[in-house]
Amino acid sequence: MTTAWRQALVKLDSRLQSRMSDKLKERWNHPAGLKTIHFWAPAFKWSLVVAGVSDYLRPPEKLSLNQSSSLMATGLIWSRYSMVITPKNWLLFSVNICLGLTGAVQVARILRYQQSIKETEKK
């Protein structure tokens, strides 16, 4: 980024902060605050959770076990990571817990469906 762009962003930031309440300034300048990747990455990751929840309406035979397992594992692994890093990122933790739970529900639905197919084949 060029110096001119950097100066323009600093000026914009100071203008914005001059209009903020003290509480909002605290959140804005927090190490995991609104102007950092620590906020925006988890915020956009919620779209994966929404997509997983919308798959609850799909029949289990159309779901992917590999994809659901991957989402579940990713959610569980990264929720642990979000508590180890500094600063602790509670937004990242919450989105990953929800992603892990969403994946686990889908995996359970798929496995239950596959089990019912095996049981009907035995009869």
**Do 36 and 93 sit in the same domain of this protein?**
yes
| Whole-structure pTM value | 0.73
**Do 56 and 78 sit in the same domain of this protein?**
yes
CA distances to 41, 99, 100, 123 from 46, rounded to whole Å, are 9, 8, 12, 43
**Do 6 and 38 sit in the same domain of this protein?**
no
Q: What is the pLDDT of residue 88?
A: 81
Domain that holds residue 8: 1-30
**Do 83 and 61 sit in the same domain of this protein?**
yes
DSSP 64-106: -HHHHHHHHHHHHHHHHHHHHSSS--HHHHHHHHHHHHHHHHH
**Do 44 and 96 sit in the same domain of this protein?**
yes
**Do 26 and 37 sit in the same domain of this protein?**
no
Task: Convert the pLDDT of each residue in 100-112 to its tens digit.
Answer: 999 999 999 999 9
Task: Convert the pLDDT of each residue in 74-93 to its tens digit.
Answer: 999 999 988 998 878 888 89
For 9, the enclosing helix (H) or strand (E) is: helix 3-18
**Do 42 and 23 sit in the same domain of this protein?**
no
**Do 17 and 36 sit in the same domain of this protein?**
no
**Do 26 and 81 sit in the same domain of this protein?**
no
